[in-house]
Amino acid sequence: MALDTHVNGNGNGRGNGEGTVPAAKAPESQGRLIWRRFRGNRIAVTSGVLAVVIILFAISAIGLGPIPGWWKYSYTALNPQVNNGAPTLSLIPTWLGGSGITLGEHPFGQNRIGKDYFAMTMRGIQNSALVMVVLGGIASVLGVVVGAIAGYYRGRVDAILMRITDVFIVIPALVVGSVVGYFAGNLGAFLLSLMLGLFSWMGIARLVRGEFLSLRERPFVEAARVAGASDRRIIFTHILPNAMGVVIVSSTLIMASAILLETALSFLGFGIRAPDVSLGLLISSNQSAFQTRPWLFWWPGFFIVALALLVNFVGDGLRDAFDPRHRRFKLRLMQEQLLEPEEEQV
């Protein structure tokens, strides 16, 4: 049966004189598509927000450098014992037999010599966040440069760089970290994370190399070569943007591992040292008081696990967002296609 179609003065086709043929949707950019996929992962988005809130709360509480915070106690000052050093924090309402929602003088308690444990924990979170960002940044930059050069040039350059990478990989990270921490641990969190980043780039380098080996054979790279583009321009302008998914996901997962590495080194005495504070150092310094003062383990242990899990969840969400072949997004795409209204045929 023929379908009666009417075209009005504006050139719009109408089927049976009623419905207007909908205009085609504009193509969505790759960045917006990835961002939409990531936003659809509620666990990853919530984890990212919580991680940022924890870090900003720690910075605002005791300040950063010359900028003072709103908390009245310092992580280095000695104070008289209050409540025998037990936490004064109360979140139980009075009608349930508690003392109401109050912070008290020392909400996280005090250590054996009277230092405020809330301020010390906040300082530990700051140092863990600093190690996470600096180590992840240094490892990402080095890994991208080494992997990109090896994957693009191949041949002898690839063989030399990958053998150097293999030498670094076979050395256990904890052994390297112990040696580095022994010499740099007492110089501050920044220098420690900088040195550790110099020995943490190998995983990203191998992943980036694999991506470059695949992408260098694509038609757009051949077109750039024919157009006379330099090797540096091809690597960093044409190929690297297409490999950023691997770089971003790997960097996020390295940041999560950096928190645990710093904690392990500080616990063993090779990381950040007194008078500075880290979460691992707090647990190590108070391990003999586990039976009598368990709150000295609760707070640093809680934030170590929380930060590591939150950053890992963000990394998993980014990995899924950059990989459209993931089963979750296949199902979601099918649902969106089924829910879209059918276009009228002309």
Note down pLDDT in tens along the chain; length 346 residues.
444 444 454 445 444 545 555 555 566 677 788 888 888 889 999 999 999 999 999 999 999 888 889 998 899 888 888 887 888 887 666 666 666 667 778 888 888 888 999 999 999 999 999 999 999 999 999 999 999 999 999 889 999 999 999 998 888 877 888 888 777 777 788 888 888 898 889 999 999 999 999 888 888 888 988 888 888 899 988 888 888 888 888 898 898 888 888 888 888 888 888 888 888 888 888 877 777 888 888 899 999 999 999 998 998 888 888 775 554 544 554 455 555 444 444 4
The residue ranges of every structural domain in the chain are 125-334
Three-state secondary structure call for residue 226: helix
pLDDT given at position 127: 92
Distance CA(110)–CA(121), nearest Å, equals 11
Contact (Cβ atoms closer than 8 angstroms) between residue 73 and residue 80: no
The confidence score (pLDDT) of residue 324 equals 57
pLDDT at position 98 is 62
The pLDDT of residue 56 is: 95
Determine the pLDDT at residue 15. 47
pTM: 0.79
| Residue recorded with tokens 């000052």 | 77
Q: Give CA torsion, residues 81, 296, 263, 190, to 10 deg.
A: -20
HEC states along 160-212? HHHHHHHHHHCCCHHHHHHHHHHHHHHHCHHHHHHHHHCCCCHHHHHHHHHHH
Distances (CA, A) of 19 to 158, 282, 344: 61, 70, 7
What pLDDT was estimated at residue 5? 46
Q: What are the structure tokens assigned to 285, written together?
A: 């310094």
- Rounded Cα distance between 182 and 167, Å, is 22
Q: Which residue has the tokens 């076979």?
A: 170
Amino acid 161: pLDDT? 93
The pLDDT of residue 118 = 92
CATH superfamily of 125-334: MetI-like (1.10.3720.10)
144 vs 150: CA distance, rounded Å: 10
Q: Which helix (H) or strand (E) holds 268?
A: helix 244-268
- Strand-pairing partners, residue 13, are 7
Site of tokens 């979750």: 328
Backbone phi, psi, residue 184, to 5° = -115, -5
- Of 186, 170, 166, 243, the residue nearest 211 (C-alpha): 243
197-212 exposure pattern, b = at least 16 Cβ within 10 A, e = fewer: bebbbbbbbbbbbebb
Do 2 and 286 form a contact (C-beta atoms < 8 A)? no
How far is Cα 235 from Cα 225, in angstroms, rounded to an integer? 11
Q: How far apart are CA 271 and CA 262, in angstroms?
A: 6
